[in-house]
Amino acid sequence: MARLQLPVLRPLRRVLARLGGAVFVLWAVASVTFFAVRLIPGDPAQAVLGGPGSQASAEALASVNAEYGFDQPVIVQYFAQLGRLATGDLGRSYSLNLNVGPLVLSQLGGTLLLAVLALALAWLLALALATWSTQSGRIASRVGSALEIVAAALPHFWLATSLIVVFSIWLGVLPPISTGGALGLVLPVLTLAIPLAGFLGQIMRESLLRALESPFVLSARARGESERGVRWIHALRHASLPAISLSGWAFGSLISGAVVVETIFARPGLGRTLLNAVTLRDVPVVIGVVMIVAVAYILMTLLTDAVSRLVDPRLRLS
Amino acid sequence: MPLRHPWRTRRLLATTTGIVALGLLMAGCTPADSNEPVGEPKTGGTLTYASGDAEPTCLDPHVGGNFPQALVSAQYLESLVSRDSDGQIIPWLAESWLPSDDGLTWDFTLRSDVTFTDGTVFDAVAVQANIAHLQDPATLSSTGYLALGKVTGTEAVSPTVVRFTLSEPDSALLESLSQTWLAMESPTALERSQDENCASPVGTGPFLVDSWVKQNAITLLRNDDYTSPPADAAHTGPAYLDKVIWRFIPDSASRYAALQSGEVDVIDNAQPDTIVQAKQSDSIEQLDSPRPGASNRIELNSGQAPFNDVRVREAFIRSANVDDAVSSLFQGTATRSYSALSSAESTAVSNPALFDYDPAAAVTLLDAAGWGETDADGYRVKDGVRLSVEFPVSTNQSIPAEQSVFEQIQATAKETGFEVKLAPMDLSSWYAALASNDYDAVSAPYTKVGPDVLRILYHSASIVPAPSGYFANLAQVNDPAIDELLTTAARTTDATERASLYADAQNRILEGFYILPLYDQQNHYLLRSDVVGLRTLPTVAVPTLYDTWLNR
């Protein structure tokens, strides 16, 4: 009996475990964020009252404290916040007079677009660099490796400003700030993609080299496969696996990079929302943004898992 | 109001020295505009303004009341009175005013031909509604609420005459009312919910709020029925511009790049490096307009050791080489101040002799004050305690150049034996540090029209914290003679007598070595050369686009 149910149970159990893990991650993220923002100095009531340094009257302060529950002990506020989150209510921003759910969703699109485009471009650049540098001789290999190391080490703020100087001020071909059109996306996407491409490229090149030396490549060559077939069908598939599983992490890092990039390029998005909210101690917005990012991260990890299974048949067997 | 430009320049983003140098090399490459003589104003066009200040959370400056709100709302809201460049109060929505002999009632005669952009008539009842709105705790007003502290009531004597009743004479009443934070809004619009009024406040100004896409832009359209420019405006009738796009670009380098590439026409919060670059450019011009109220100054906390001893305060001031720091780090864009007040205030008293850099005198003063011993690190010691100065620095309010000035002061004061501990922190943490008295020195800008800012900053009553924990007298000056002078000045409406009282108070503050003045509160705008007729209101030094037109 038990043996018969197993094939049904196994995926079910896996889904349940995943779901439980996701809920745990969301709870942990919400809790750490709540205490992190509340324990640093600064009074959230002042976010409601027009910002830090408010000289609002005693009546105004008292009514805000009562309305938002700031007069309660922090632990009570924590459980109240958690209770609201459990029902899917992200609460109301202290500073923006807006509900956090719609606010965060309205900013999600811009950041997601930036992150997805940057990830795609980073993959393209990394693939191009890895394949070129592994098949074009020793000098190409050295150059490729140097490019990857330099690119991976570039800080976003430096890269962003350099790109603006070159493409907006010097060449005058791209707008230095977001203008709503597609052209305005080019520099922000490049800023995010270049360091990531360096990082992914390093990993891809190493695993590509390792794959090219593996027995299965030797046997493919022995079977008479063309060099192109060997590289593109066998070796690259093998070599892309570590990069695929890293893409989940990369996606998270892109969202944190968005804080800098959105500020420099004056783009609306989650990163800028988060920065403003932290500065004002706007706890609901900080938690809202971090939760959304956590959900995106979880989904991305699931996706990279699925893609890995697709690319690597061994994972499907185990 | 205590000034905050929270998102002006983040240090992280501003550490781009190499790139700026590169930009300097390339500034010569921008196409130069022809220097044709400016002809008749042209009507039409869209001007894009890029602010480095924070995006307001509410476009109604009655709510809270900070500088970012004043910047944008000066385009669609107007005040009862204004101030001209000589510091004289001039008519705006009020044609004239008359205080009673005892100074306890003021009658304002209003213009009778003004309507708000929603069609509501501007009259005495509208003024009453605005004062009531500012004084209502539910409005959560901070700046406007404080400015109306002595106003106990209003009365509509006739549709065009409104009477203010005061609890005691207020020589700062007109200056207070000139500020954008106390501007007049449509009473019909004020009856809407606060959320609605924050999103689209309604005034009498040359533009009206068309839309506000948060984190993106505010769109303002010309008010075609506009009739009420202030007495010092350059023209009458509607504004020249069709439309204004008001954007927020927090990063200084990208704000300037956007101006260079022509994406935007005007930027504010221009930093010394970009101002110097702009001087090389034919297509960009500068508008320098120091903010009114207090100068930028370092306040020494006289409420606790070591600065509760006037000799130690003087020693610190004598040991700080401010002149060299300002001239090298601001690259000639800021002028050294020796006053508690901004140079925009005609009542400012300046006394350079008190602030000479004199390390030898500083050493003598410290010896006399009992700080004669020196420890292994070269710092002065008294009873086993090192001569340390806790100096929290708000990275939101102090621009990078100013933070570097503090580092220079730290270095020169060290030679005399002061250990200056600079602690950069974000705005909320900084206010928290001040509220818990964890500071010996601090620089806190304060913008207000008129010398009454001295009462807010140096009257002992301002040591008592507001309900939020904030207090304005950060030097913790507690001198009955100063209190007396400031209180009397605030009740004295005779201009000469008032100025003399404020002069006496300033001299006592400067001679008590409570503050180290640095420079005016910097307020530089950069604009494309084809933007003509841009000026700032001499009240709170925010730009007005009413007379502005595009020569293209």
Q: Using one digit for the tens of pLDDT, what is the confidence trace for B49-77?
A: 999 998 998 999 999 888 999 999 999 99
Which residues in chain A are closer than 8 Å to B442, comparing Cβ atoms? none
Helix, strand, or coil (residue B538): coil
Contact (CB<8Å) A55/B468: yes
**Assigned fold of A100-317:** MetI-like fold (1.10.3720)
Domain ranges of chain A: 17-86, 100-317
The CB density around residue B29, as the number of other CB atoms within 10 Å, is 12
Q: How far apart are CA B386 and CA B440, in angstroms?
A: 13
Q: Which of B176, B502, B464, B496 is nearest to B341 (CA)?
A: B502
Least confident of A224-238, B348-362, B402-416: A224-238
* Nearest-CA distance A190 → chain B (Å): 16
pLDDT digits (tens, 9 = 90+) for A159-171: 999 999 999 988 9
Contact (CB<8Å) A170/B58: no
Q: Which of A20, A35, A144 is nearest to A79 (CA)?
A: A35
Contact (CB<8Å) A42/B428: yes
Domain ranges of chain B: 43-76+193-291+523-550, 81-188, 296-519
CB B240, CB B532: distance < 8 Å: no
Which residues in chain A are closer than 8 Å to B453, comparing Cβ atoms? none
**Assigned fold of B81-188:** Dipeptide-binding Protein; domain 1 (3.90.76)
Token pair for B76? 């669609």
Token pair for B132? 């009531």
pLDDT digits (tens, 9 = 90+) for B306-344: 999 999 999 999 999 999 999 999 999 999 999 999 999
A37, A39, A40, A57: which to substitute to probe chain B, counting the most B Cβ within 10 Å? A57
* Nearest-CA distance B58 → chain A (Å): 8
Q: How far apart are CA B206 and CA B300, in angstroms?
A: 44
Instruction: State pTM to two decimals.
Output: 0.88
pLDDT (0 to 100) of residue B174: 97
Q: What is the DSSP letter of A226?
A: -
| Minimal Cβ distance to B261: which of A45, A168, A263 | A168
Residue B10 pLDDT level (bands cut at 50, 70, 90): very low
pLDDT (0 to 100) of residue A180: 76
Q: How far apart are CA B422 and CA B517, in angstroms?
A: 18
Q: Where are the beta strands (DSSP E) in B52-160?
A: 81-83, 89-91, 94-99, 105-110, 151-158
Contact (CB<8Å) B215/A172: no
Residue A300 pLDDT level (bands cut at 50, 70, 90): confident
Token pair for B511? 């001679």
Alpha helices in A154-282 (DSSP H): 156-163, 183-212, 215-222, 227-229, 236-264, 270-280
Token pair for A71? 């007069």
**Average pLDDT of every residue of chain B:** 91
Task: Pick the more confident residue, B516 or A38.
Answer: B516
For chain B, percent of residues with pLDDT exceeding 70: 93
Rg (CA), chain A: 24
Token pair for A311? 């690319």
Q: How far apart are CA B442 and CA B297, in angstroms?
A: 8
Residue of B nearest to A103 (CA): B214
Helix, strand, or coil (residue B342): coil
| Minimal Cβ distance to A63: which of B137, B195, B429 | B137
Most confident of A136-145, A276-285, B144-153, B501-510: B501-510
Domain B296-519 has CATH 3.10.105.10: yes
Give the CA count within 13 Å in the CB-facing half-sphere of B35.
Answer: 4
Hunting for tokens 């009673």 — which residue is that?
Answer: B100
Residue A242, CA distances (Å) to A149, A204, A309, A312, B449 in order: 18, 7, 12, 11, 63
Contact (CB<8Å) B198/A170: no
Which residues in chain A are closer than 8 Å to B140, comparing Cβ atoms? 48-50, 56, 60, 64
Q: How far apart are CA A298 and CA A291, in angstroms?
A: 10
CB B93, CB B184: distance < 8 Å: yes
Q: How far apart are CA B274 and CA A179, in angstroms?
A: 22
Q: Average pLDDT of A223-243?
A: 79
Say what the ipTM of the complex is: 0.83
The set of long-range contacts for A63-67, using a CB threshold of 8 Å and a minimum separation of 24, is A63/B137, A63/B138, A64/B140
Alpha carbon B437 to its chain's center? 24
Find residues 442-481 of chain B whose CB sits inside 8 Å of chain A.
466-470, 472
Answer yes or no: is pLDDT of B424 > 90: yes
Answer yes or no: is pLDDT of B392 > 90: yes
Which residues in chain B are closer than 8 Å to A97, comparing Cβ atoms? 57-58, 194-195, 198
Q: Average pLDDT of A117-121?
A: 94
Answer yes or no: is pLDDT of B30 > 70: no
Q: Which residues contact B151 (CB under 8 A, 6 or more apart)?
A: B131, B135, B164, B165, B166, B167, B170, B173
Find residues 52-81 of chain B whose CB sits inside 8 Å of chain A.
54-55, 57-58, 63-66
pLDDT digits (tens, 9 = 90+) for A49-77: 767 777 777 887 888 888 888 888 989 99
* Nearest-CA distance A166 → chain B (Å): 9
Give the CA count within 13 Å in the CB-facing half-sphere of B65.
Answer: 27
pLDDT (0 to 100) of residue B1: 55
Q: What is the dihedral of CA A57, A61, A62, A64, to 10 degrees?
A: 140
Give the CA count within 13 Å in the CB-facing half-sphere of A148.
Answer: 25
CB B140, CB B63: distance < 8 Å: yes
Q: Which residues contact B371 (CB under 8 A, 6 or more apart)?
A: B306, B312, B315, B380, B381, B382, B387, B417
pLDDT (0 to 100) of residue A7: 62
In CATH terms, the superfamily for domain B43-76+193-291+523-550 is Periplasmic binding protein-like II (3.40.190.10)
Residue B39 pLDDT level (bands cut at 50, 70, 90): confident
Answer yes or no: is pLDDT of A133 > 80: yes
Contact (CB<8Å) A279/B7: yes
Least confident of A24-38, A83-97, B235-249, B533-547: A83-97
Which residues in chain B are closer than 8 Å to A57, comparing Cβ atoms? 137, 145, 467
Which residues in chain A are closer than 8 Å to B429, comparing Cβ atoms? 40-42
pLDDT (0 to 100) of residue B16: 37
pLDDT (0 to 100) of residue B7: 35
Q: Does B131 touch chain A (CB under 8 A)?
A: no
Which residues in chain B are closer than 8 Å to A272, comparing Cβ atoms? 215, 250
pLDDT (0 to 100) of residue B105: 97
Q: How far apart are CA B258 and CA B255, in angstroms?
A: 5
pLDDT digits (tens, 9 = 90+) for B114-126: 999 999 999 999 9
Find residues 407-446 of chain B whose CB sits inside 8 Å of chain A.
426-433
Q: Does B379 touch chain A (CB under 8 A)?
A: no
By the 10 Å C-beta count (0-12 exposed, 13-18 middle, 19+ buried), B245 is classed as: middle
Q: Which of A207, A212, A202, A294 is nearest to A248 (CA)?
A: A294
